[in-house]
Structure 1
Amino acid sequence: MRISTAQLFSQNINSILNKQSATSQIIDQLSSGKRVNTAGDDPVAAIAIDNLSQQNALVDQYMKNIDYANNRLSLTESKLGMAETLASSTREQVLRAVNGTLSDTDRQTVADQLRGTLEELLAIANSKDESGNYLFSGFETNVQPFTFDVSGNIVYSGDNGVRSSIVASGVTIGTNVPGDSAFMNAPSGLGDFSANYLSSQVGDFNVESAKISNPATYVADTYTFTMAGANLEVRDSSSTLVTTVAGFDPSTPVQFNGIEVKLDGMPAAGDSFSITPQSSVSIFDTINQAISLIEDPNKVNTPQGKAELAQILNNIDGGVNQISTERGVSGTALKSLESYSTNHVDEKIVNSSALSLLEDLDYASAITELEKQQVALQAASSVFSKVGSVSLFDYI
């Protein structure tokens, strides 16, 4: 078969170009340290490498989210721990203040200490993170959560939003505790009501519990209890008689309109008190009530003062427990973050190991192959130069 000069040149050029391309590819691999630099190098491996790279990128984002959540939750847990300690100390201060041996000056000193504790607690509740965002304001991170209203009461201006971070596929973890959950919505010490006592109280008693026992028959209202001789009368806000307990015995709860009320102690004839629906209390209001009680020398050691004291102590306990509960929520979330972080680190190691097997270059094999390709390229170039120089005139 005859081969034209054009064919000969074309075949030799293609051979040289192929050898140059193969050599260049190996040089690229050696410079990058990767066996697969483009999909053309190994289409199947390239798809697997792309998938693993995407998984690693996702894991990296999860780890960033975990770091963010961990920082916020660690700060939140720390602040709630400080708040829990402060709130717990108020109980001891209140009990010390109602000691009958203290003078009015001594009680005022304790009241001033309680006021300082309240200010510290308020400062904690208005804490900010490193970015200047309020920790306990829910979604309203630029709004100071706790402020005084015109009446001097502490009110909550945030919301109950919980900001979440995605820490794994389909898994979100809250990164904050709303201020109302931690400081404003502690369960009432009595249950579902608060009690109001009169200065005319003579009997040594207080409301131990007041709860909704039957929601189906419950009638919301303010109810007044009055000892009429040996009987206990219960009237609603319109002074309509609701029930009369003949021969009242404080060991037996009073039940009416889906409500159950239990007293600790026996009211004297003519004693009266009322209960108002209130299922949650604020630790700030409770401390303020304690301060008012301690600063009133005409009430602190009276039957009325002792009854109010029992309710205040119960509400302090409820407030401390509420802060502790929310602190526990933060601690549980931190433990979950640690677990997810460990899982992601392990996943990243497995993915990186698989990537290494797919794309990392075997330098010894690559260098050997490079030398072979260079020898082949030199041989092809030498043959082409010699064949290309052959002329018919040399043989005439």
Structure 2
Amino acid sequence: MRISTAQMFNQSITSVLDRQSSTSKILEQLSSGKRVNTAGDDPVAAIGIDNLNQQNALVDQFMKNIDYANNRLSLTESKLGSAETLTGSVREQMLRAANGGLEDSERQMIAVELRTTLEELVAIANTQDESGNYLFGGFETGKQPFSFDAAGNVVYNGDSGVRDAVVASGVTLGTNIPGDQAFMNAPSGLGDFSVNYLASQVGDFSVNSASITDPAAYVEDSYTFTMVGGDLEVRDSSAALVTTVSPFDPSTPVSVNGIEVSLSDMPENGDSFTINPQSEVSIFDTINQAISLIEDPNKINTPQGRSELAQVLNDIDSGVNQISIARGQSGTHLKSLESHSSAHVEEKLVNSSALSMLEDLDYASAITELEKQQLALNAVSSVFSKVGSTTLFDYI
């Protein structure tokens, strides 16, 4: 069979190029440290590598979300701890102000301290994060959530929104505590009502609790309780008589229209009080009520003042408990974030190990293969050089 010069040349140059390509491929692997740099190097391994890289990218995003949530919740938990301490001190100041041995000037100093406490508490509730977003504004992160109105009452300008972060596949966690949940919507210290006492009160009694015990029988209204002799009359807001407890025994709760009211002691004849529906109280309103009570020197040590003090103390306890619950929620979320973070670190470690098995280069084998390819390339190049320079004229 005849072999043309062109055919010999093409075969030789193809062999040289093939050897050069194989050598370059090994050099690229040695440079990158990876056995698989393109899908063509190992199609099956390339699919596995791509899947593992996608999983790692997803884990990285989860970790970023966790870091963001952790920063916000850590700051939230810290601020709620400060708020809890502040509100707890209000109770101590109230009990100190009720001391009959204090002068009016001393009580006024306590009232000033309480106003400072209230302002500090509002400042905590208006805390901003490192980006300038308000922690306790719900979804309304761009505007101050708490402010004083013209009457000196604290109003909430945010909403009840909870901003969730995806911290794992199918798992979301709230990264904030709305301000109304932490500071505004504490359960009433008495149950479902607040109480108004009269300045004419003589007996040393107070309402321990006033709760709706039978929703089906409940008639929403304000109810006035009046001692008439040894009987307790209950009238609605239209002054219509609802029931009379005869004789009245303070150790037995009064039941009326699905409501159960419990008193601490026996009212005197003519004593009267009114309960109004109110199932939630604001810690800010409670502190304002405490200040008003202390600032009135003619009330704090009267039967009316002592009864109002009991209600204020109940509401303060409820407010402190509400802040404590919110703080506990943020702490629970922080613990959950820590757990998910540990799981992601382990997952990425497993993925990285699998990636190493699929794509990492065995340097010893690669260097051996490089030497073989270089030897083969030299041989092919030498043959090509000799064949290319050979001519029949050399033998004529």
Structure-1-length-normalised TM-score = 0.98
- Post-superposition shift, 1:338? 0.8
* C-alpha RMSD of matched pairs (Å): 1.1
Instruction: Give structure 2 stretches of 5+ with no counterpart.
Output: none
SS of 1:262's equivalent?
strand
Alignment correspondent of 2:294? 294
**Helix, strand or coil for the counterpart of 1:290?**
helix
In 2, Cα distance between equivalents of 1:394 and 1:280:
112
Deviations 1:280-323 (A, max 9, x none): 11111111111111111111111101110100000000000000
Q: Which residue of 2 aligns with 1:28?
A: 28
Name 2:169's counterpart in structure 1.
Answer: 169
Aligned partners of 1:372, 1:131: CA distance in 2, in Å?
Answer: 60
How do 1:217-296 residues align onto structure 2 when only pairs under 5 Å count? 217-296=217-296
Q: Give the deviation of 1:11 after TM superposition.
A: 1.6
Offset at 1:393?
3.5
Could you say what secondary structure the match of 1:161 adopts?
Answer: coil
CA deviations over 1:191-217 (Å, ceiling 9, x no partner): 000011000111111111000101112
Deviations 1:324-356 (A, max 9, x none): 000000111111111111111111111111111
> Shift of residue 76 of structure 1?
0.5
Structure 2 CA distance for aligned equivalents of residues 383 and 109 of structure 1 = 106
State the one-letter code of the partner of 1:53: N
Query: Helix, strand or coil: the match of 2:264?
Result: strand
Please give the alpha-carbon distance, in whole angstroms, between the structure 1 residues aligned to 2:226 and 2:298. Answer: 23
In structure 2, the residue matched to 1:143 is 143
Partner of 1:382: 382
CA distance in 2, matches of 1:243, 1:44: 85
Look up the match of 1:130. 130
| Structure 1 counterpart of 2:154 | 154
Q: Are 1:86 and 2:66 counterparts?
A: no
The one-letter code sitting in structure 1 at the alignment partner of 2:113 is Q
- Structure 1: 5+ residue stretches without partners: none
Residues 1-396 of structure 1: pairs in structure 2 closer than 5 A: 1-396=1-396
After TM superposition, give the deviation of residue 262 of structure 1 in Å. 0.8
Cα deviations across residues 253-288 of structure 1 (Å, max 9, x unaligned)? 111211111111011111110000101111111111
Q: Give 3-state SS (helix, strand or coil) of 2:374's partner.
A: helix
Q: How many residues align?
A: 396
Q: Distance in 2 between matches of 1:93 and 1:393?
A: 119
Q: How much does 1:4 deviate?
A: 2.8
Q: Quote the offset at 1:185 in angstroms.
A: 0.7
**Offset of residue 226 of structure 1:** 0.9
Structure 1 position 95, deviation (Å):
0.2
CA distance in 2 between counterparts of 1:276 and 1:325 reads 26
The sequence identity of aligned pairs, in percent, is 76
- DSSP 3-state at the match of 1:205: coil
TM norm structure 2: 0.98
- Give the distance between the partners of 1:149 and 1:241, measured in 2 at CA: 39
Per-residue deviation at 1:242?
A: 1.2
Q: Distance in 1 between matches of 2:216 and 2:222?
A: 18
CA distance in 2, matches of 1:183, 1:6: 91
Name the CA distance, whole Å, in 1 between partners of 2:2 and 2:349.
61
| Cα distance in 2, alignment partners of residues 370 and 153 from structure 1 | 82
Deviations for 1:20-68, whole angstroms, at most 9, x for unmatched residues? 1101101111111111110000111111111111111111111111111
Helix, strand or coil at the partner of 2:206: strand
**Cα distance in structure 1, aligned partners of 2:258 and 2:3:** 110
Distance 2:395 2:113 in 1: 120
Separation of aligned partners in 2, 1:151 and 1:291: 14
- Helix, strand or coil for the counterpart of 1:159? coil
Equivalent AA in structure 2 for residue 262 of structure 1: S
Q: Describe the superposition over 1:201-250 as per-residue Cα deviations: whole angstroms up to 9, x where unpaired.
A: 11111111000101112111111111121111111111111111110111
**Deviation at 1:389?**
2.7
Return 303-312 or 360-369, whichever deviates more.
Answer: 360-369
